[in-house]
Structure 1
Amino acid sequence: MSLQKPLMRGLLAKRLRFHLSIAFSVSIAAAIAFKYTVTEPRKQAYADFYKQYDAAKEFKAMREAGIFESVRPSGE
């Protein structure tokens, strides 16, 4: 009784098809996970921050703190 020879013809294509489908699935899952765990909360945090942000008030506070060299504080 002899052992059957291994099937070599088409082996690369068969293995590539299997591994590429797994790699594609994992990359799509990673992209979706990144979108919902990183980018969506970040967009929401920016939206919440700018809902209450007052640029004029912030400018006035920085001007009075002396951060700007070209703008005098309002008290002088």
Structure 2
Amino acid sequence: MAACSLCDASLDHCHGTLIVHAYRDPECTDPACAIPDRLCHTWVADCSDVAGGCECLEVAPVDARPEPITRTGPQRLVG
């Protein structure tokens, strides 16, 4: 397995996936994660994309639910 360049550089980061909820705080798939922030995660997913769905969309009023993201194809990270 290749070494992580962020680990080698001692930069704050996480190897888990950040799950962003519409009506709750974000959570990480790594139980040891202490930094639930987008900047510290390489992988970020919307809770509606998680297999089995998410309960936060079930409890939200229908008119308050976010619009689904319809963009497809390659995306570029700018920064």
Same fold (TM over 0.5): no
Richer in strand (by share): 2
Normalised by the length of structure 1, the TM-score is 0.23
Q: Which entry has the higher C-alpha Rg, 1 or 2?
A: 1
Larger RCO: 1 or 2 (CA < 8 Å, sep 6+): 2
Richer in helix (by share): 1
Normalised by the length of structure 2, the TM-score is 0.22
